[in-house]
Structures are given as C-alpha cells and as structure tokens.
Amino acid sequence: MRIAWANTRGQYPDSLAEGESVIYMADVVYDSSGTPRLANRRELIRARGPECTLEAQDFRRDDTELVYVCYRVGDKADVFGLDLATGKSTTYRKLESEYNEVEGVAPDGSFALVESSREQGGPERQTSRYIDIWKLALPPNAPSFARMTRWGDWDGYKASNPTVSPDGRWFAFQSARSVDPAGVGYGIFLYRLRGR
C-alpha cells in the first residue's frame, strides 16, 4: 500500500521554484473508521526543467526501486530507476533523439513497457505524437528493446498507455491518434506475451 506521485510548480507555485518538479512517496494507511490517509510521506527526488520534468511510474523489486520518467525539452523522455534506500538513479533508456516514456512494469520487475518514438521516421517524428509500445529489459542501459506494436506504421495512429497483467502473461493498451492529447484513446486491446 505505497504510492508515489510527482508535483510541479504549476500545481504548487508557493513551494516549488520555476521549472522545478519533485517526486514524493507515502504509505496508504487506514484509521480505525476505515478512512484512508497518507503516512510516512517523503521526498524522493527533485529536478529542474528544461533538462528534466519528473513523473513517477511504478515500483519494482518489492517496492525498493521506483521507475520514473524524465521529460526533456523538445518533447523527449527517458527511463530511470531510483533506489529508495540509497537515492541512486539508474539509467535504463536515454537516447538524445528519442521519446521513451515508461508505463507498465512487469510483476516480476524484469521488464517495462515503454511508449517510444523509435523507428517512427525522421527527427520531426521523434516525439510523443509518434509512438508505439516497446518492451524494455531492465538492466542498466538495457540493450534489449523490442517493438511490440506497429500502430505507428499507419500515419496518424499510435499505441499507448500499456499496463501488464498481474500474472505477466498479457498487457493491455489503447489505440490512439497522433494528433490527440496524451490519454485520449479509441479502444483497449490485449496483447499476449509469448513464453508467459
């Protein structure tokens, strides 16, 4: 019962500097009447744009690591992990020319699904508007990056918002149009993972 979230100056102008973002973590606890509240809140990491605007994504390794996104100027994004005991960040995927937004992490923590602009065409198409879903193994600077969907092969479409099933055998994702804002979709699809 642990959550992590990010705040930006736009949400809290009195407590964050211009361009600053921060990720917090807390435990969800229930009082005697069954009402939930946050306990043990702590700041995990702070960054400043345009180099990085933070977004929390998912826990792995029995909640000892937080996988997060760093959004950069030029509509680019990178995948990192934060060791919650040491505060050390690990780079999982960071390429200057790509947009890579981590989404669903496998239950065993061995991989994550990423919205990536890889193989979407020239530099003008290396943004969050032109993405497909990729499977990223999670050792540091992971060499294993496999394309899972090909929605972007059809001009004007993208696949997004994947999440892995609790048994690790499937993932769900949505079909979207590249001109729509993040989160807008036109149907949910299931993808069976081989060997699971």
Q: Assign domain 44-192 one CATH number from 3.40.630.10, 3.90.480.20, 2.60.120.580, 2.120.10.30.
A: 2.120.10.30
pLDDT of residue 196: 52
**CA separation for the pair 161, 81 (Å, rounded):** 19
pLDDT of residue 143: 75
pLDDT of residue 141: 72
Paired tokens of 101: 């937004």
Token pair 């969050």 is at which residue?
A: 128
- Are 96 and 117 spatial neighbours (Cβ–Cβ below 8 Å)? no
Where do the domains of the chain lie? Answer: 44-192
pLDDT of residue 48: 94
Express each pLDDT in 104-156 by its tens digit.
Answer: 899 999 999 999 999 998 888 888 989 999 999 998 776 789 999 999 999 99
Q: Counting beta carbons within 10 angstroms of the beta carbon of residue 153, is it exposed (0 to 12), middle (13 to 18) or buried (19 or more)?
A: exposed
pLDDT of residue 93: 95
Query: Using CA of residue 127, residue 172, residue 66, residue 136, what is the dihedral sign?
Result: negative
Neighbours of 2 (CB within 10 A): 12
- In the chain, which residues have pLDDT < 50? none
Global confidence as pTM:
0.92
- Are 128 and 71 spatial neighbours (Cβ–Cβ below 8 Å)? no
**CA separation for the pair 129, 182 (Å, rounded):** 8
pLDDT of residue 182: 86
Residue 136: strand, helix, or coil: strand
